[in-house]
Structures are given as structure tokens and as C-alpha cells.
Amino acid sequence: MSLKKSRKENYPEWYQCVVSEADMAENSSSPGCMVIKPWGYGIWERIRDVFDEKIKSTDHENCYFPMFIPLSFFQKEAEHVDGFAKEMAVVTHSRLSMKDGKLVPDSKLEEPLIVRPTSEAIIADSFSKWVKSYRDLPVLINQWANVVRWEMRPRLFLRTREFLWQEGHTAHSTPEEAETETKTMLEAYCELCEETLAMPVILGKKPEHEKFPGAVDTYCVEAMMQDGKALQAGTSHFLGQNFAKSANISFVNKNNQQEYAYTTSWGVSTRLIGGVIMTHADDEGMVVPPRIAPYQVVIIPVIKKPEDENTVMNYINNLAAEIRKLIPFGEKIRIKIDKRDRKSVDKYWEWTRKGAPIICEIGPRDAAENKVMLKERLKINTSNAKEIIGKEEFIATLSQRIENIQKEMFDRAKKRLDANIRTDIKTVEDFNRYFEQSNEWIEDGKQGKVAFVRGKWSGDPNSEELLKAMKITIRCIPFDQSNTQGTCLLTGKPATMDVIYARSY
């Protein structure tokens, strides 16, 4: 019952299979946009709730800003900012009219409106009204919203025209405070990825040419997918006074002088779900980390004779009542009894493809013997996948089991990441040869496929040309620098800076 395509056969098709067989999302009749289905949206809700708690515990407050931004707000940026992206949805009319039996746009707007690709411009406008004195600072806000970027090659979760995200926006009275904020939120993203998504990341700073347009510094967390490509999982920007100057966010400081504020912004999106899929899914389908699984335990009644129904359902209901008292990770457990009118074997494969962490099949014999038959999704292809254990033992150890699965998933992915950062490539020839190989699936425990290269970089912007031609990017300048002398992998010039080179999503 494996997926139609394995990772090895065709990685991009395998990805589509996982998403569709797990029923997480699908393409929509609205071009380039996706429908996020309950299993996919449930995962997003868990990510949102966990991170929302973090946002609030770090003193940020949620707001909501308009999604329509007047065109003029982008004028300055377009004139001055290199790399300003212009692929945006433009609203030009505010009415439909019937003409010759056909519905057509009518009532042209005086000024076109842009559907937010990100909200720096409109939020900075509000900040300029809110901030007058140093006493009004810091302003620490966040919003959960939909945003639009006119992607030409959409892929579910990874790149769609509309997606969901959170965007934090803050204003501070000193650059130090703003930089601390930028890094605090980067750390929060690291924690979210590693502890909640079980997806290990590398923390670092983007090189000049990869920065967010208008930022002084862009920091990021980068994850490694199973095909060795990098996925930028989250970014945190120190914007200096750039946005404050263009929107006039100024304040009277403690010395009674007028000064521009220092701002930051930071975001993660539904793209994280794409990252989770390509970190954890296997050839049987999705594998969801317990912390974000809409259901951590699924119980399938196996009833062949109608006269068994009462016994089995009573046993399951009692079992579920006990399970519902558990609180793995300090949160109420999420369980589902799948009572649908379908064959139990079909249900079993459905939950396997969806990647529910623990799937129990309970029949009359289990009820009679006070036992539970279960499989951990993570172990599905191992010889000891099927376990039959006493009900009391199952309940007593379930929280720990769930927490262990989360840990195992992280450890497995961390091992993969660590094993696939090549540090032995020293010349541009070797570099080229390495990346000329085709990108395949990295089999766990094996090495040698194309993944990340950690090596020196001179910082010379001209060396980018070589990278561009090979479709390789510098993912980041990792925080853990070796500070050793060496030679730039691209130019052969002396260099001390370590960077991560990789193909990417």
C-alpha cells in the first residue's frame, strides 16, 4: 500500500502523492491557490497555537491590519529598493456590472490597491501615528493573515499565490534593542522548528544579496529536505531606520530630540508544512510529529460480527476516556475514534498515509483479553511494528511513548542533517563536480548524495554569478563560525567566513 511514487523514483511526484494521499491540501479552481483540507489545516492550527503562545509570552500582541495597501505606498520602495518584487495582485475595480449578458469589472478605483504581499508598508503607516515619544516604544505586534505573491510555478504548501502566515512587526528606541528582538524571534523560530516540528535547522545571517529588500540584516533558519535541498523555514529582519524614515515613524527620545525608530519584522508561513512533509514523510505517506498531529492517537474498531459491536465499542469508549486524561507535552491529548462506515483495513491505510503517530486497531479479542493492538507510524516498516500490550500498561506509558516519538523524529532528522553537510570540498572544481550530480533522495544512514556544503566564502558579490548559473545559493552565514583562515570555495581567494551552500526550494 505504498505511495505510487517513492522518494527514489521521483522525488517531486512523491511529494505531490504525500500531500494528496494524506488529504492535506489540493489545487483549487482559483489559479495558483490551494485548498487547505482539514488534516493540513489541523496541522497549521497546532503550529499557530504553539507559536502564538510564544508570541504572547514574549510580550507581543496580536492585531489585524487591512489586506489592501494603496499603490502609492509602494512607490518609494519601488524607486529605491533593489530587488523589490513586483508580482502582486492588483485591485482596480470595486463593482461588477452586467454588459451584454456578461459580468464585467466596473467602478474603476481612483488609486489601485495591492493585496498585501507583506505588511511592512501599511503597518509602518500605523506605527507613525502611534509613536510620538520614547514612552510609546517598544511597539510589539503580530498578525496572523493571508498574503499574496503572484508565483508562476505554484506547489502546494511550498509556493502558492495565497498563503497563510504570521508577521511580527516591532519598533524600538535603540538599534541594540531592535537587534535583540530580531535575534530573540529567530531563536523562537528555531525552537518552533526543532521542538514542535521536529525539524532541525541551521541559524544564520543571509548574505547581502539574499536579504529582504530594505533590511539591514536578514536572519534565517534553514532546514534540509530529504532530497538534500534547503528550505528557508523562517526569517527575521532588522530593518534599521529604513522603514521608519520612509513612513516617518519618529519619536522624541529621552534627551528630548526627534529620532527615527528602529524596526524589525519576522515571519513563518504555511510553507513550514511543506518542510515538515519533506523532513518526515516516507514512501508510505505522511508522518506527522505528535506535537502538531491533529490526532495523536487514532482508534479503529474492528468489528466483523454485529453482535460484537457493543462489547468492542464499550471497551474502546472506556479506553478513550482513560486516554483523554493524559497530557503529553503538557497539553490535552488529541484522540479520534474512527467510527465511519468503511472497512477497517481501509481506515488503517488511510491513517497511515495521513501519518497519525499511533494507530490502534481494537477487536473483540482485544476487548476480551483487556489488550490494545497498536502500531507506531514511525516504525511501520520495521519488524516490530505491531505491538499487543495490556490496556493498563498502554495507558500508563502512552504519554511517554508520544513524547518519545517526537524525540525520535527529531533525532532522525538531526542525524540526517549532520551527516549531509559536506565540509571536505576545498576547490571550485570539486564544488562544481559535487553539485553537478543530480539531486536524489538521501537515504537515512547513507551518505554521498547532493546536499549542503559548508565552506569558505570571500564575500565577493561577483562570485554570485557562478552560483546563479548552477542554481545554488548561499543559504546563510551560520552563527557558529569556525573563525579559521582558508580559501573561498568559489574564487580561491583568502577567506575566513564559513557559509552554507545548497540548492533550495
Give the residue with the Cβ less far from a copy of itself, 238 or 243.
Answer: 243
**Identified binder of a copy of itself from the candidate list 342, 343, 365, 433, rule CB under 8 A:** 342
Q: How far apart (Å, rounded) are the C-alpha atoms in residues 223 and 149?
A: 22
Give the residue with the Cβ less far from a copy of itself, 65 or 434.
Answer: 65
Check binding of 113 to a copy of itself (CB under 8 A): yes
Minimum distance from CB of 503 to a copy of itself (Å)? 27
- Four-residue CA torsion sign, 241, 246, 252, 257: positive
Check binding of 327 to a copy of itself (CB under 8 A): no
Give the residue with the Cβ less far from a copy of itself, 94 or 314.
Answer: 94
Check binding of 299 to a copy of itself (CB under 8 A): no
Q: What is the CA radius of gyration of the chain?
A: 26
Minimum distance from CB of 34 to a copy of itself (Å)? 7
Check binding of 41 to a copy of itself (CB under 8 A): yes
Q: How far apart (Å, rounded) are the C-alpha atoms in residues 444 and 32?
A: 33
Contact 381, 282 (CB under 8 A): yes
Give the residue with the Cβ less far from a copy of itself, 31 or 445.
Answer: 31
Q: How far apart (Å, rounded) are the C-alpha atoms in residues 457 and 460?
A: 8
Separation in Å, CA 219 to CA 72, 164, 192, 234: 29, 21, 15, 8
Give the residue with the Cβ less far from a copy of itself, 126 or 420.
Answer: 126
Give the residue with the Cβ less far from a copy of itself, 114 or 220.
Answer: 114
Prior bond of 289 cis (ω within 30°):
no
Give the residue with the Cβ less far from a copy of itself, 77 or 195.
Answer: 77
Q: How far apart (Å, rounded) are the C-alpha atoms in residues 48 and 496?
A: 39
Non-local CB neighbours of 88 within 8 Å, separated by 6+ positions:
114, 115, 117, 148, 149, 150
Check binding of 61 to a copy of itself (CB under 8 A): yes
Alpha helix stretches (DSSP H) within 333-481: 344-354, 364-369, 391-419, 428-436, 464-470
Check binding of 276 to a copy of itself (CB under 8 A): no
DSSP at 438:
P
Check binding of 181 to a copy of itself (CB under 8 A): no
Non-local CB neighbours of 91 within 8 Å, separated by 6+ positions:
68, 109, 112, 113, 114, 115
Contact 157, 25 (CB under 8 A): yes
Set of cell numbers at residue 460: 565577493
**Identified binder of a copy of itself from the candidate list 2, 10, 70, 250, rule CB under 8 A:** 70
What are phi and psi for residue 442, nearest 5 degrees? -90, 110
Minimum distance from CB of 61 to a copy of itself (Å)? 4
Set of cell numbers at residue 278: 519533506
Residue 412's nearest CA partner among 192, 199, 230, 227 is: 199
Check binding of 45 to a copy of itself (CB under 8 A): yes
Check binding of 254 to a copy of itself (CB under 8 A): no
Minimum distance from CB of 211 to a copy of itself (Å)? 21
Check binding of 1 to a copy of itself (CB under 8 A): no
Check binding of 331 to a copy of itself (CB under 8 A): no
End-to-end CA distance of the chain: 29
Give the residue with the Cβ less far from a copy of itself, 65 or 349.
Answer: 65
Give the residue with the Cβ less far from a copy of itself, 67 or 467.
Answer: 67
Q: How far apart (Å, rounded) are the C-alpha atoms in residues 108 and 408?
A: 57
Which 138-157 residues touch a copy of itself, going by CB under 8 A? Answer: 141, 145-146, 150
Window of 32-40, 214-222, 232-240, 281-289 that interacts with a copy of itself by CB under 8 A: 32-40
DSSP at 212:
P
**Identified binder of a copy of itself from the candidate list 21, 46, 131, 162, rule CB under 8 A:** 162
Minimum distance from CB of 30 to a copy of itself (Å)? 4
Give contact residues for a copy of itself (rule: CB under 8 A): 26, 28-31, 33-38, 41-42, 44-45, 61-71, 73-75, 78-79, 86-98, 101-103, 105-107, 112-115, 122, 125-126, 129, 135, 141, 145-146, 150, 161-162, 164, 341-342
